[in-house]
Amino acid sequence: MPDITLLGTGGMLPLKDRFLTSLYVEHEGKALLIDCGEGTQVAFAQHGLKLSRVKAICITHLHADHVTGLPGLLLSLGNTGACEKLRIYCGTSTVMTIKYLLMVTGGLPFDVEIVPLSEKKGTAFQIPALSPELTVRTLPLCHRTPCLGYQVELAKKPVFLPDKAKALAIPVQFYKTLHAGEDVYLPDGRFIRSADVTGEQRAPIRITYTTDTLPIGEIIDFAKDSDLFICEGMWGTEEKRESMEQKRHMLMQDACRLAVRAQAKRLWLTHYSPAEKEPAQYAGLLQSICPDVHISQDGDHITLK
Ligand SMILES: [Zn+2]
Ligand SMILES: [Zn+2]
């Protein structure tokens, strides 16, 4: 089951008690990071997470608060003795920026592959170093520069039905294979289908991350039925609406409305303005729009089941 930690909740600039927005998603001991602003490797240490588990990094866009932590994080990763290839996924217009950022590391003890993603249409892919049960999807957002939203989906196996397996006198050593979805021939020659001993298909677990964007309608479909929807909310006051529209950002209220329309099970707000010192002051107002809103803080953690 995926373990999720919000490493930071800040936008634009890190504060002494608020690192920049970055999301850590771990499944079966291997992790994916989404965004890597300045100081992200320090947030790893603060929250007791192991950098060595990171096998891939997804970048939303090339603004400093989302990418400038890469050199430091990769150097720290090299110091852990990591030697496996690391993949960095980003929009096509961000590739050169990332290549320059990698140059300042002076060389790393592992290969880095930069994988360009379309900024015009959404894509879906699997990450070779991570579980094949995980699928990553993108959504082009609406910001001042090309920006991608990400969704991580974990396919859930159907429930294994041991009573059915026992009734069919299937040897225990075949349970795991059958539960994984494979059909088997038993030593006595019988052919057993996985579907014979498993229940109905279960809904996948969805984690959706959209930041640095206007609250475009496409986000509603993209975040549909998310178990966890993480969305920017720079400010909680309508006084900032005009400025947020000009800068192609959104208010906390906008994120709440998107979450309700997407029927997300929970909403975590992030990417607060550095001038917004107390996002929690809006809790009552925001809960009146979206009862499942959470005014996130750095280090918030959840295991989704
Ligand atoms: Zn930002
Ligand atoms: Zn931005």
List, for residues 121-137, the tens digit of each pLDDT value. 999 999 999 999 999 99
Task: Count CB-CB contacts under 10 A for residue 109.
Answer: 13
Return the pLDDT at 146: 98
Return the pLDDT at 201: 85
Q: Which pair of tokens denotes residue 183? A: 């059909």
CB within 5 A of ion ligand 1: which residues? 11, 65, 212
Using alpha carbons, select from 182, 189, 179 the residue that is nearest to residue 156.
Answer: 179
- Give the separation between CA 22 and CA 25, rounded to whole angstroms: 10
Ligand whose nearest atom lies closest to the CA of 145: 2
Q: Which pair of tokens denotes residue 14? A: 């890190």
Return the pLDDT at 180: 87
Mean pLDDT of 89-105: 96
Ligand whose nearest atom lies closest to the CA of 214: 2
Contact predicate 95/117, CB 8 Å: no
pLDDT tens-place string over residues 147-170:
999 999 999 888 999 999 999 999
Helix axes 70-79, 95-103, angle to 10 degrees: 50
Q: Which of 17, 35, 65, 292 is catalytic?
A: 65
pLDDT of 247 > 90? The answer is: yes
Contact predicate 224/207, CB 8 Å: no
Mean pLDDT of 11-35: 95
**Catalytic-residue membership of 65:** yes
Instruction: Tell me the domains of the chain and their CATH numbers.
Output: 3-156+203-296 (3.60.15.10), 162-196 (no CATH)
* Gap from CA of 207 to ligand 1 centroid (Å): 19
Return the pLDDT at 13: 92
* Gap from CA of 230 to ligand 2 centroid (Å): 16
Return the pLDDT at 157: 85
pTM above 0.85, yes or no: yes
* Gap from CA of 201 to ligand 1 centroid (Å): 38
pLDDT of 1 > 90? The answer is: no
pLDDT of 61 > 90? The answer is: yes
Note the Cα 123 to chain centre separation in Å. Answer: 15
* Gap from CA of 212 to ligand 2 centroid (Å): 5
Residues in the chain: 305
pLDDT of 54 > 90? The answer is: yes
pLDDT tens-place string over residues 197-214:
999 888 999 999 999 999
